[in-house]
Structure 1
């Protein structure tokens, strides 16, 4: 799939029930990252015929992360699927992504401050997710992320580790359970530090996680 067909925004279909019956609305989101690649705010907009058009709600974006029942009604899709849904329900041609950004009118600020400190070593960017995929989806996620998973994991909560060389930068990631088992995260490091490679890798990892039932909540920078 090409970058253009996938799009740079995040798209979801909102279904009528958790069994993913007929979808009734489209949700479009974007995380705005600060210069240090931590998340500064979440922008979102929704569309449905029942609402009479586009709407933007920080409260709804927050509820998606907090309410498992609502979150289970979402399915992550790429832009081509969003285009097809929008047309099928009478919206016509879905606006391009520059135009969609003008639909974001009620941003959700995300906490920012001094980096959290984990100890010595490279800077870690932690992508925190809401959601609780079953073992089958976690196994599939691990396979796509090319992680070394298995019973030999020594760290509590650690699901597996993967790595990739991007533009002369060694990028490493770990999928782990955090918050007493309440959430999942992907911890990402890049050596030597390269913001362009890291930004691209964060985007790719979030895209894979979304397709396997995890909903991104924020990106923290840990020192």
Structure 2
């Protein structure tokens, strides 16, 4: 199992709002369909002056605008709770309560791109952002990637659990984003769901922002 710099102990994604000293929180969750593709992004922001507010516009901005991405930094729930307390919010609500703060979701559902070829479905997680050479090397190490003979793949990770073989490839997507292609053979969504969560947390911890999850069949 990949070691994450952002621990996968929560089901929501937490970001500090900056860019310098933290001034608030951004909390997000991807809602997944039965095939584990993302149907919408649920999101809420909090600042001491404004309390909780809809952050759909900010969520879109950090995935489209490099300057907006400098305003957020992925953290663990524990770090988010400490910032929330320090900024005067008290005890950070539990995750079920935080879901009640989500308003004005960002829809993501749409036709998945076609994949030519045989084999199990590919779950493609798209990420916004960029990596310099040092951060890319650190991410490759954290994802435990080996070299690949495919010129489009920057590294491949593998894991076998109870007869299920998991495989993930890190790719550059269109020159402007990144993607992680994850497969399970045979498909076991109960095992695939937590692995996807853990892998996304690893990538988030290295500065990229998840944008959507597609299921390519």
Q: TM class by shorter-chain length?
A: over 0.9
Partner in structure 2 of residue 190 of structure 1: 184
Partner in structure 1 of residue 9 of structure 2: 6
Q: Is the 8 A contact 1:32 1:39 kept in 2?
A: yes
Report how many residues are paired: 213
Unaligned runs of 5+ in 1: none
TM-score relative to the length of structure 2: 0.93
Unaligned runs of 5+ in 2: none
Partner in structure 1 of residue 141 of structure 2: 143
2:216 equivalent to 1:218: no
| Structure 1 residue corresponding to 2:154, chosen from 127, 152, 159 | 159
| Structure 1 residue corresponding to 2:55, chosen from 42, 54, 57 | 57
Task: Give the 3 Å change call, closer, same or farther, for CA 97–142 of structure 1 in structure 2.
Answer: same
Task: Give the 3 Å change call, closer, same or farther, for CA 192–172 of structure 1 in structure 2.
Answer: same
CA separation in 2, counterparts of 1:212 and 1:57?
Answer: 22
Cα offset for 1:117? Answer: 2.0
TM-score relative to the length of structure 1: 0.90
Task: Give the 3 Å change call, closer, same or farther, for CA 163–80 of structure 1 in structure 2.
Answer: same
Task: Give the 3 Å change call, closer, same or farther, for CA 164–85 of structure 1 in structure 2.
Answer: same
Partner in structure 2 of residue 38 of structure 1: 37
DSSP-derived class of the 2:116 partner? coil
Partner in structure 1 of residue 199 of structure 2: 205
CA separation in 1, counterparts of 2:23 and 2:167?
Answer: 38
- Deviation string, structure 1 residues 172-223 (Cα, Å, up to 9, x no partner): 00000011x1110000000011001111110010000000011000001112
RMSD, aligned CA: 1.8
Partner in structure 2 of residue 68 of structure 1: 66
- Deviation string, structure 1 residues 23-69 (Cα, Å, up to 9, x no partner): 1110000000000110000000000013x200013222111100101
CA separation in 1, counterparts of 2:156 and 2:102?
Answer: 35
Cα offset for 1:6? Answer: 3.2
Runs of 4+ in 1 over 3 A off after TM superposition: 3-6
CA separation in 1, counterparts of 2:167 and 2:204?
Answer: 19
**Equivalence map 1:15-34=2 (5 Å):** 15=18, 17=19, 21-34=20-33
| Structure 1 residue corresponding to 2:131, chosen from 122, 130, 133 | 133
